[in-house]
Structure formats: C-alpha cells, structure tokens
Amino acid sequence: MFKQILFFYLLIFSSFTIFSQEEEDEKKMIRDVISVDVSRAQYAPKPPVQTPPPVDPKSKKHKKHVEEVPVEPVQDTLPPMMPAPSQEILKRAQHWYTLKNKKFVKASGSNNGKSVACNLSFVFKQKLLNPENEVDGKITMDLIIDAKEGKYRYTIKNIKHVATKQGMSGGDIFATVAECGSMSLNDRTWKQIRTEALANAGKVVEDLKAVMKEEVKTEQEEW
C-alpha cells in the first residue's frame, strides 16, 4: 500500500516538473504566427464554363431549326485573394534560407516537408576601447519556420552568447546570471550582451517577414 502511495506522489511530482519545464521553455522563445494570402487567380482553378451539348447533324430530332439560347459562363464571386497553400509557404521559407545576409550567417538548414529549420550566428564585438570583460565572440540562435495553409509560425530559441575566450561564455541570454558567473562577466556587460542578442533576433524576424511576403521568382530555362 505504501509503495502504491509513493508511486502516485512521484508520478504527480514528475508531471508537475515536466509541465514547469515546458512553461519555462515557452518564456525563452520568440514566437509569432503570420498570415499569408496569395492571388486566387494564380493558385485556384477557374470555375467551369457551361457549354451547350454538341448537335448531331444526322439526328432526326434536329431537322427543324431551333434557335438555341446562349449559355452564360458561371460568375466567379469569390474574393481575389485566398490563403496561401502550405507548400507555397514552405517554398518561401526554403528560399529565405538560401539567401545570404550581411548581418548574420545561416547554417545547418533542414526541410522535413512541413517546416524549415536552421542555426543563425551573429558576430559579437564590444564597441569599447577598454572593455571590462573579454567576451567578444558570437550570438547564436535556432530558427524554426512551421508552414500551414494560410499561415506560418516562426520560433527563435536557444539564444546564446558564446565567447571566443574560453570560460567567458554567457550562455542562455534569458538567464539572470551568465553561465561563466558574475565574477567573470559582470552584470553591466551581461545586460549589454542580452540586449544586443534580442536586437539580433529582431533583425532575423524583420528579414524573414520581408522575404515571406513575396512569391519566389523562378528563373526561366535557357534553350
């Protein structure tokens, strides 16, 4: 009986711990959902045009001339825009990854047919003549673009500071205290790193949104 009660409390505690970790992870992400519409004329089939049945000249039923009433085509009353197909959104996300950017480097790209993911890195260099801490290096982060019909969701997570000098990395920028400790990296410098890291993530979002708005232009084949 005691073992059963103990197992029950351990199960509740484990579930609560996992739930707490998920909540904590959500707070360490930059995430949003963006709608995407496309021209219906380009992606949706046109309504069928009604045509009168063909007349058989040998048929006895059509010996007498009968004036046929012209059939009007079906009116297209649907709006000019429609939610973008998920494959079109995925195509734009993949195109964004292939484009070079002067502000950051993209690496380790992947496409599983539903989302595009990659790693991003920014050069971090202090704009001071005599910096308090030797923390120059880079800011890294992971980006995931999930595609669905009419929308995509971007998620930026694992935003970290990695110093060139060993033992000076701040690590997770959402942490109150740097990974290397406050004795190695003081609060003032750590705050500057965190501020710049979030600003860099904002640059990624801005660049991504601009590319995802436009249709991917395909080059014509050369004969």
Is pLDDT at 64 greater than 70 in this prediction? no
Average pLDDT over residues 90-114: 97
Task: Name residue 138's beta-bridge partners.
Answer: 123, 162
Pairing of strands 151-163, 115-124: unpaired
Top pLDDT among 6 and 50 is at 50
86-98 vs 187-212: helix axis angle to the nearest 10?
130
Instruction: At 55, list the tokens.
Output: 């007349």
pLDDT digits over 20-53, tens only? 344 557 889 999 999 999 998 888 776 666 666 6
How many angstroms from the chain centroid is the CA of residue 47? 33
Could you tell me the residue ranges of all domains in the chain? Answer: 31-41+80-212
Helix H or strand E encompassing 8: helix 2-27
DSSP string, 15-26: HHHHHHHHHHHH
The CATH architecture assigned to 31-41+80-212 reads 2-Layer Sandwich (3.30)
Entry field: residues in the chain:
223
Of the candidate ranges 44-48, 98-102, 147-151, 170-174, the one whose mean pLDDT is the lowest: 44-48
